Amino acid sequence: MPQIAGKEVGPIGFGLMGLTWRAKPCSQEQAFETMRAALKNGCNFWNGGEFYGPPDYNSLVLLERYFEKYPEDADKVVLSIKGGFNTATNQTDGSPENTRRSINDSTAQLKGRKKMDLFEFARRDQNVPLEVTFDVVNKEFIQTGKIGGVSLSEVRAETIHEAVKHVKVHAVEVELSLFSTEVLENGVAAACAQYGIPLVAYSPVGKGMLTGQIKKIEDIPEDSHLRMFPWFLPGNFEINMELVRQVEAMAKKKGCTPAQLAINWTRALSRRPGMPTIIPIPGATTAARVEENSKLIDITDEEMAEIDVTLSKFKRAGDRYPEGIPTNT
């Protein structure tokens, strides 16, 4: 079993974002059923965010209500919450003032029902030295036991190398999927391996492209934020569907779903020399989808080599994010 922040976690985690950060969130009852299914299937590393939804219904509000109903689950969950974002300015803000506000507000929203095992900075603030940010976190929150530790998100390799000089980094969350393999080549995965830091892979099913549910642009709801992402735009979408079809064919041959192949491919990368432990965190809004996503599939070295060949012939059309959203910070 992998470990994060000194606690055992399942080989596949659970992303909470989709439960609250969408135009029409699922009902709280459905969300609770999905969360219970995640625990039941061994997905006990949960990843949410202070800004995943409005202040009155974000990850923290949902979690507080969940743990109020199921207090016995609090100790079973290893919880990572993203913050460090200034909602007033809509900017990443690693200043001491906003760092305190973000952690204190997140803690307050949980109402003592669960401690954050990890507080995760959603992006690096380029205007504030890491030493300044982490000095506050270390002295005021980790050493006082208010949070368990720190995680990083959407960072470049240089940030990891610098951060470990100032704080113990318990996890690094970055996008990794068959559509987004950049971290395997840009030094991020290598840095995680160097320091023994688990790499948490978000969007392992390519923002939904590899679920088998999206065949045409019209399958994406008009109010979905995905409509703004470059690789879903007309012209790019059709090119990217080529990889989807190839993954679907490989999954059919393997006897699993495309999502299961995609998720377990990220896990299988951990076997390769120079790779860290990789924990994918697919999101879901139904218990059935959790059941599908949590299934462990063994992908052989021969199958991994076959996927390598497929990826070597494919170039994703469109950037990972719309212009203006910071990446590789």
Query: According to the 3-state scheme, what is the secondary structure of 17-64?
Result: HHHHCCCCCCCHHHHHHHHHHHHHCCCCEEEEECCCCCCCCCHHHHHH
Res. 304: pLDDT tops 90: yes
Q: What is the pLDDT confidence band of residue 322, given thresholds at 50, 70 and 90? A: confident
Q: Cα–Cα distances in Å, from 185 out to 120, 176, 233, 256, 289?
A: 23, 11, 26, 28, 31
pLDDT at 90: 80
Portion of the chain with pLDDT greater than 90, in percent? 81
**DSSP-derived 3-state class of residue 235:** coil
Q: Which superfamily does 3-207+259-296 belong to?
A: NADP-dependent oxidoreductase domain (3.20.20.100)
Q: At a CB cut-off of 8 Å and minimum separation 6, what does 289 contact?
A: 34
What is the tens place of the pLDDT at every residue in 160-199?
Answer: 999 999 999 999 999 999 999 999 999 999 999 999 999 9
What is the tens place of the pLDDT at every residue in 117-151?
Answer: 999 999 998 999 999 999 999 999 999 999 999 99
Neighbours of 127 (CB within 10 A): 10
Task: Catalytic residue, from 52, 66, 70, 195: name it.
Answer: 52
- 52 annotated active-site: yes
pLDDT at 177: 96
Res. 15: pLDDT tops 80: yes
pTM for this predicted structure: 0.96
pLDDT at 129: 94
Q: Where are the domains of the chain?
A: 3-207+259-296
Residue burial 168-183, b: 16+ Cβ < 10 Å; e: rest: ebbbbbbbbbbbbbbb
Q: Which residues pair with 120 in a beta bridge?
A: 82, 151
